[in-house]
Amino acid sequence: MPRIDHALIVGAGIAGCSTAIALAQQGVRVTMVEKQQVWKFQSSGLFIYSNGLRVLRDLGVLPQILEAGFAVRGGRNQYFDESGTFIVETVYPSPEGLPAIVGIKRAELHRVLASRIAELGVTVKLGATVTRMSDAGGEGPMRVNLSDGTQGEFDLVIGADGIRSQVRAEVFPHIEPVYSGFGVWRSVHDRPRGLDAKIMMMGVGKRLGIMPISDEKLYMFGVMLEPKDAWYEPADWPLLMRERFGHFGAPAAQFLEQLGPGSEVLYTAVEEIIAPVPWHRGRVVIIGDAAHASTPFMGQGGAMALEDSVVLAKLLTGPGSLEEALQAFAARRHPMCKLVQDVSRQVGQAGALEAADDCARRDAELRRDGQGKVDAFFAALDRLR
């Protein structure tokens, strides 16, 4: 028997949607509130590696994800330097017959998750948030007031409301995100037929990546250090991206040349946060980016949110008390999320090296041991699972 009957999920991002599905599949009644009026996502594309795809399979949506996205055949990741000289090709693991890596539009991922949520009868309230919660550590279920004027009693409140989490601010007010120093520039382009691998171009102080996200489209992302609190007018983003990365050669050059007024470009100043354990207080728990937002350089933030959902649902419907389940949840997830965060930061720093000889050493090391690093990272995730 589930030890919770009714859960409230705050935030319908990847963590919220996947947890709603995982809990509903176990027979838990779920209400989910999302502050946006419509499902709208400020993002071009997303990589999902095999560990995230395994969860999507368990949530019953993998075929739809594969249909909407682009699975890189053989899991190939090709490295070039900024002039376009080939460095090395590495291969991501594809365990259990899963694809190694899929690129997908974030809106498509959410379309698929939303349709599974509807099938399972989850109550979703768009344009709604929590206005008041009873004391998280109090006796009995949480009493929660919502901005649509309704009230409810919930056995558990799950804060899946992202890096700026309101739920986290309520239960752990001292934990704040910090600026990573990196800015990410992302654009979307038509995919030439032959471009079917993930590509990374290692420049001087800058890195540029390309990833197919459907049969028709790919997205390109440029990463570099940006000053804290830098603000750029959104209408200028396409030209600013072109200015910053315009000296990169093939295979990125053709896409950089396309950037101009009206191009689909997003700029994000990247923050990170990792809450120390525990991730709950009484009947309130935080998950996904609310608990552990990483820099995006391992492309693992979404997969970590997905993995949270199945681990939490399993623990909540297993033996022991709610307190024990929530303690076990953070104890199990914290080491993996911390590893992702640490490795991702190192990857970011390697991509931001500015001295020519440091860059040459980095590229030589990639050539020598790039595959070893990939294998070691995924083996470490397996050990921590």
Ligand X SMILES: Cc1cc2nc3c(=O)[nH]c(=O)nc-3n(C[C@H](O)[C@H](O)[C@H](O)COP(=O)(O)OP(=O)(O)OC[C@H]3O[C@@H](n4cnc5c(N)ncnc54)[C@H](O)[C@@H]3O)c2cc1C
Residues that bind ligand X (CB under 6 A): 10-16, 33-36, 46-48, 129, 160-162, 166, 184, 268, 270, 288-290, 296, 299-303, 305
Helix (H, G, I), strand (E, B) or coil at 192: coil
Residue among 69 and 141 whose Cβ is closer to ligand X: 69
Decide: helix, strand or coil at residue 185: strand
Considering the complex, state which of residue 230 and residue 250 has its C-beta at the smaller distance from ligand X: 230
- Cβ neighbour number for residue 260 with a 10 Å cutoff: 10
Comparing CB distances to ligand X, the nearer of 44 and 361 is 44
Q: How near is the Cβ of 172 to ligand X at its closest, in Å? A: 15
Dist CA 233 CA 363 (whole Å): 34
Complex with ligand X: residue 296 or 348, whichever CB lies closer: 296
Q: Least Å distance between CB 351 and ligand X?
A: 14
Contact yes or no for 287/308 (Cβ under 8 A)? yes
Q: How far is the CB of 14 from ligand X (least distance, A)?
A: 4
| Closest to 374 (Cα-Cα) out of 382, 182, 273, 224 | 382
For ligand X, give the closer residue by CB, 46 or 368. 46
Q: Locate tokens 């991730």: which residue?
A: 279
Distance CA 125, CA 10 (A): 10
Contacts 24+ apart (CB under 8 A), 113-116: 113/14, 113/17, 113/18, 113/21, 113/59, 113/61, 114/17, 114/39, 115/64, 116/21, 116/59, 116/60, 116/61
CB of 357 to ligand X, least distance (A): 29
CB 200 within 8 A of CB 220: no
Select 249 or 278, whichever has its Cβ closest to ligand X. Answer: 278
Closest CB to ligand X among 213 and 367?
Answer: 213
Minimum CB–partner distance for residue 21 and ligand X (Å): 13
305: which 2 tokens? 């949110």
Q: Which residue is nearest to ligand X (CB)?
A: 13
Smallest gap from Cβ 105 to ligand X, in A, equals: 11
At 303, list the tokens.
């997969």
In terms of Cα–Cα distance, which of 230, 228, 186 is closest to 207?
A: 186
Least Å from the CB of residue 240 to ligand X? 15
